[in-house]
Amino acid sequence: MRDASRSAISIENVQHSYVLRGGKEIIALQNISLDIQAEEFHALLGPSGCGKSTLLYLIGGFIPLQEGSIRTRSGEVTGPGLERGIVFQNFALFPWMTVKQNILYGLRKANFPRKEAEDRAREFIQLVHLTGFEDAFPSQLSGGMQQRAAIARTLAVDPEILLMDEPFGALDAQTRRIMQEELRAIQQRTKKTVVFVTHDVQEAVLLADRITIMSPRPGRISHLIEVGLERQSVEDMLAQPEFTAKSEHIWRLVKDMAESAMRGPA
């Protein structure tokens, strides 16, 4: 049984639609109610266009809520807040700033005093294994390093909640695997609540405690799955028959939905 008092994010009856030029309305999310627990690693999984980013941006307060409510322990979400940090898919570092300047920028914006900001920048650069690259510009780093810098920038301000939109989507398979290991370790060490958007079933099963599977047009929650696997190294997890069985089960659910979405409305 889940304990409601441990809820870190309460999403109730959220609906969201976009109006296209010409007036056509797209219902991106419908009837979304979901409780995410403190310290939970929660994955949002579903085919392209099912509203994963929309839901993440609503939790982040980056787009205004149209219907329903989203609450964190800091209260009702009405806009961005320091308790919610976001990592975008496309390495949103400032290209004209070095790694360290990028991280300091976030800390200064969050009102950390100069000395503490310097210390934290150093600490988080170390945490994501970028020591030695403090003064490198994003263009001088690999994609994986840029993404680690973006994660450090977000983690350094110590948000309770980490929102991640396909953060490893653009990485090669090997870097992706390393980043998955690192993220899981960071989350266990820092006890963040993580909402992680992905369309990669294996990634969701590897990382998440629970997975929300969303169906497209309109985006709804189709399944809420407790992963329930023992946390081990990625290699050991991949070798578990339970891991394969769980991934295949989830893959079938996602595939059925993607196929019915491609067929369009009956």
Residue numbers of the site for ligand ATP (CB under 6 A)?
Answer: 18, 20, 26, 28, 46, 48-54, 199
CB of 118 to ligand ATP, least distance (A): 36
CB of 73 to Mg ion, least distance (A): 26
| Stretch of 50-58, 69-77, 172-180, 248-256 lying at the interface with Mg ion (CB under 5 A) | 50-58
Tokens (6 digits) for 70: 């989203």
Question: 3-class SS at 63?
Answer: coil
Among 198, 118, 189, 183, which residue's Cα sits nearest to residue 156? 118
In whole angstroms, give the CA distance from residue 3 to residue 1.
Answer: 6
Q: Output 53 or 180, the one with its CB closest to Mg ion.
A: 53
Measured on CA atoms in the order 252, 254, 258, 263, is the torsion positive or negative? positive
CB of 79 to ligand ATP, least distance (A): 18
Measured on CA atoms in the order 196, 202, 208, 210, is the torsion positive or negative? positive
Q: State yes or no: residue 54 binds Mg ion (CB under 5 A).
A: no
CB of 204 to ligand ATP, least distance (A): 13
Question: Which of residues 53, 187, 198, 212 is near Mg ion by CB under 5 A?
Answer: 53
Q: Output 29 or 162, the one with its CB closest to ligand ATP.
A: 29
In whole angstroms, give the CA distance from residue 38 to residue 17.
Answer: 29
**Residue 213: left (phi > 0), alpha (psi -120 to 50), or beta?**
beta
Q: Output 53 or 215, the one with its CB closest to Mg ion.
A: 53
